[in-house]
Structure 1
Amino acid sequence: MKKEVDSMELPNTKAFQDEFTRSLLDSPEEVEEGYYLFKSDTGGYSMLWPKDAVTDGPPFYQRTQDGFEKIIFDEIDEEKNYHYSFSTTYSTYGDKVLDSSLSLLSSSIGYKGDYEKIETNKTFIYYGKSQKKLNTENRSTTSYRFFSYIVSKESQKGLEFVYIAKCLDEKSTKCNLNVEEEEKKALRYMRYVSFNKD
């Protein structure tokens, strides 16, 4: 953790009880109910981090100096039957390579549609969504995917953001996922992303 606190004072949340995840977070104070602030050590951007989401070290966390950072993190609750997964990739290309960045995102998700352009005060969000049925021998679930490439208006910085919401199992356990609420949540994450000026 970037701000030292006594271990006895650590919040009883998965993010702060996990040593590696804790090392990434700025403070044990929530910036919104249920969320901490992640300020990247690249110095390039910040975003919301759910209080019960965790990540491991490489390959789930990768960073190359100040120009690249990739984080894969998850929030899983078996009792409540949900799995939220996040993947973020930061780069210093911004909108210089917008078409190829969107093409890479589409390819990784398996998306063939267009992107909606959403404007905030300081960013443009190129947003898409899809769903996919996943079946294994023992489980069945639908994966709802919300994804974007977010670029700064003030600098050549960009962040690929992928949020996936699904029930762990739709066959044997009740699935209470509200897709509209999950989309609102995804857009809130994306709108909250902020980039530092060069």
Structure 2
Amino acid sequence: MQKRIVVLTMVAILGLVSYFTVRLMNNEATALNDSFTKEFIVEEFVEEFVEEFVEEFVEEDFHLFESKTGQYRMLFPNEFQMISEPPEFYGRQGDYYEHWAAQIFNEKSNGISYYFTVKFREDEGDFHEIRLNRMLEDNSYNGLFEELVTKDKIISHGSSFWDSNDPRGDKKDPNKYNANVFFGLIVDTNSHRSIVINYSTICYKEELGCDLNSDKEYEFALKLMKSIEFLNP
């Protein structure tokens, strides 16, 4: 049943890709040009130079995103915009739950759509293993993943290949196929907070080649995961 839900979700993403590709074929579509996305970009008051709010600098091609829960920050890539409609693409419950999605709204010359989702939770107890197993069941090939431990986070991450033409929706070995699904569970070691990130690269125009550098896309997904900073509650 759960696998069927995952397949239907991926099909829905394909439909969303087609819709926004037609609606927003605009080379200037970036994070700061979207009013909804801009609400989450961190700004600071710089009185020494100009008496106005300006964006806090992080690094080229990225902005600093802060959750409406006030619980975490992370890098947000400039080429992406958050999806505000339909409403199920953004949701929040107090300061303990939030989910959102973002996508590149430009038509890429290689025929690939780039899309990622973020789901934050603060649990009452330790649900690390439950969150991990659920993520692997939905995204991994045979439960394969790697673990990265830092001073304040545990990042469980992996990749797989999803064939949009496969009605079963089975994930395939990323060592044999060009991985197009990248996933990670980021756990705060000082609390019961966690974030799941799913990054998908979907071919929607095969005639354009759909050339994909899986290693580069994996690095991009890991960059987002590593950038997550859980804020003091």
Aligned to 1:178: 213
Q: 1:51 aligned to 2:78? A: yes
Q: What amino acid is aligned across from residue 194 of structure 1 in structure 2? A: E
Question: Does the 8 Å contact 1:167/1:177 carry over to 2?
Answer: no
Q: 1:69 aligned to 2:98? A: yes
The one of the two structures with greater contact order (alpha-carbon pairs below 8 A, sep at least 6) is 2
User: How many aligned positions are there?
Assistant: 181
Question: Does the 8 Å contact 1:102/1:149 carry over to 2?
Answer: yes
Aligned to 2:161: 131
> How much does 1:130 deviate?
0.5
Question: Does the 8 Å contact 1:26/1:38 carry over to 2?
Answer: yes
Q: What amino acid is aligned across from residue 129 of structure 1 in structure 2? A: S
Give % identity. Answer: 28
- Take 2:232 and 2:152, find their aligned partners in 1: how far apart are those partners? 10
1:21-170 correspondence to structure 2 within 5 Å:
21-27=37-43, 28-57=55-84, 58-80=87-109, 81-93=111-123, 96-109=126-139, 111-135=141-165, 144-169=180-205
> How much does 1:133 deviate?
1.8
**Partner secondary structure for residue 117 of structure 1:** strand
TM-score by length of 2: 0.70
Greater helix content = 2
Q: What amino acid is aligned across from residue 157 of structure 1 in structure 2? A: R
Greater strand content = 1
Q: What amino acid is aligned across from residue 88 of structure 1 in structure 2? A: V
> How much does 1:39 deviate?
0.9
After the TM superposition, list the runs of 4 or more consecutive aligned residues in structure 1 that deviate by more than 6 angstroms: none
Q: Which runs of 5+ in 1 are unaligned?
A: 1-11, 137-141
Whose radius of gyration is greater, 1 or 2? Answer: 2
**Partner secondary structure for residue 59 of structure 1:** helix
Q: Which runs of 5+ in 2 are unaligned?
A: 1-27, 44-54, 167-177
